[in-house]
Amino acid sequence: MTYPHEVTMPNPVNMANLVASLTEDASGYAKPAPERRQQTIWTPDGDLTPRQLARQARALAERWYQALRAWDTKTSSEVLSSNLAPPSGGGGNMRVVGVGNYGLAGATITYSHVSTPLGWISENALTATLRQHDGQLLDRMRAGQGLSTLLHASGRGWAGEQARNYARIALSVAASLGDPEALTCLQALTNAEES
């Protein structure tokens, strides 16, 4: 006798037959499982799923942001000679005559570069590009303010809305400086926010 609140479980043998009947076609052969189409997005590095592209965008934004925070610079100097004679020594009809005691010393030009994920970039070019996108970000980083990282402590996402905004700026700067991966990641970040 069964009571109304009892649930009768099907016989395991009958359940196996039921599952088999659902996966076999009329000829008795097992049907192949339907293929799942996975959405992919074309990138210069190949097709990526939206999740892989989001992960790549976070990693690239973090690398650029840390490079901007560190502002690792190197300087190099070059001496310009005041010797105006052509290297071959043949001055032709013209002869340079100096008046006074100037010596052979020339001017020194100093170049300053910042280390980025793209390599060493002119400090002036990087500063100008960053100021075009958000001049306050550079000032906050120079003052020791701002986020220490853009990534959540678990590593599975952004560390909040401010981190997402900083990531957008870092990727915009990178794209403006010619990083091809940054443009794709910036578009993925924008698309993710719109959906």
pLDDT tens across 30-83, in order? Answer: 656 556 555 555 565 567 777 888 888 889 999 999 999 999 999 988 877 655
Q: What percent of the chain has pLDDT over 90?
A: 24
Q: What integer best gives the mean pLDDT of the chain?
A: 75
The count of other CB atoms within 10 Å of the CB of residue 158 is 21
Q: What pLDDT is attached to residue 120?
A: 95
| Helix extents (H) in 24-160 | 50-70, 123-142
102 neighbors 82 (Cβ within 8 angstroms): yes
pTM summary value: 0.64
The count of other CB atoms within 10 Å of the CB of residue 28 is 7
- 152's CB contacts (< 8 A; 6+ apart) are 158, 159
- 147's CB contacts (< 8 A; 6+ apart) are 65, 159, 162, 163, 166
Radius of gyration of the chain (CA): 32
